[in-house]
Homo-oligomer: A and B are copies of this chain.
Amino acid sequence: MIIHSRIEGTQLAGNLLGDPSERDLFVYLPPGYEEEQDRRYPTAYLLQAYGTTAEEIVNPPTDGQRWRPPIEDVLDPVFRRMGVPPMIIAIPDGWSRWGCGQWVDSPVTGNFEQYMLKDVVPFVDAHYRTIPESRSRGLFGFSSGGFGSWNLASRNPDVFGAMAVLSADSFLDMTHKFMLYKYLDSIWPEAPNGPIEGNEWSELVYDYAATYSPNPDKPPFYVDLPVAFPSGELIQEVWDRWLSFDPVVNVHGRLDNLRKLSGIMLDAGLHDDYNLHWGHRLLSHYLNEAGIAHEFTENAGNHGGRANERYQVSLQWLSKVLKHD
């Protein structure tokens, strides 16, 4: 059963894109929740990927060549067919008009990290029978949602005790830098001037710039781009701001936090269309070097083709590492 609420994202208010601060929040209650009125549950937060909304996860559009099942069809089998001990699953909204807030703080898209910490988690703990402790609170997500899981848990181990990181944005040098040049190609030979609707590269670059290298003093788009036009020179100072969000870069400074977590799971598809498995391998290598135990798996999927299955696997794993009643 999924409960729909609208919550006020106080930490999103005033974002420069003018996106609404009131947001959807969906909460999945596991089988038995109604019957066992005194039982409390661990909570898993599902962070969405780039380009979608919490609403679309719950009620996917039907105009695609492939079916995306409603998330309820993915979650129910976890606790029924697979017999996983029950958890509450919260699905906050991370939408931005430029694609995704990337679950980080930005004056342009909104402070999504603070929103998770100060709006979403308190609301869920207040309205549902959660176990309101970090060791009973986990994160999971795919692509930008995996990236968000990494950054939220590795910065806030006192709030989130475990993370399942699925095909996360990482190793930006190899997986995202080329997008700057695809963007230049896509606007060539015109001058760049803000995101262009329907131009995928432009939308991606402006979304990342709005979240990783925002510049509130630079209207009307409020971003610094890490590439010069038309020369194509990389602007290293801006690019370094992007890299500070990259798991394979910031892992080195967060080892103490990472050691506090009850569990870290890294999973990616061997055929990831964006090669995000390259970053996962490197990240696992760095965790191993630091002696930090973690699950590391690779599946047969491309980018997204097995995401729903990996949600099921993630929840099976989270239910093991999170503390139950």
Contacts and interface: CB of A to CB of B under 8 A. Distances in A.
A285 to B, nearest CB: 4
B306 A67 contact: yes
A66 interface: yes
A181 B275 contact: yes
Interface string A62-89: 1111110110111011001100000000
A181 B174 contact: yes
A123 interface: no
A10 interface: no
Contact of A188 (B178, B185, B270): B270
A301 B65 contact: yes
Interface in A267-311: 269-271, 275, 278, 281-282, 285, 299-302, 305-309
A183 B174 CA distance: 14
Interface stretch (A11-19, A43-51, A228-236): A228-236
A232 to B, nearest CB: 5
Interchain residue pairs A-B with the least CB separation, the first 10:
A66-B305, A231-B285, A67-B309, A65-B302, A67-B306, A73-B77, A65-B305, A63-B300, A232-B282, A232-B281
A241 interface: no
A259 interface: no
A112 to B, nearest CB: 28
A260 interface: no
Contacts of A324: none
A177 interface: yes
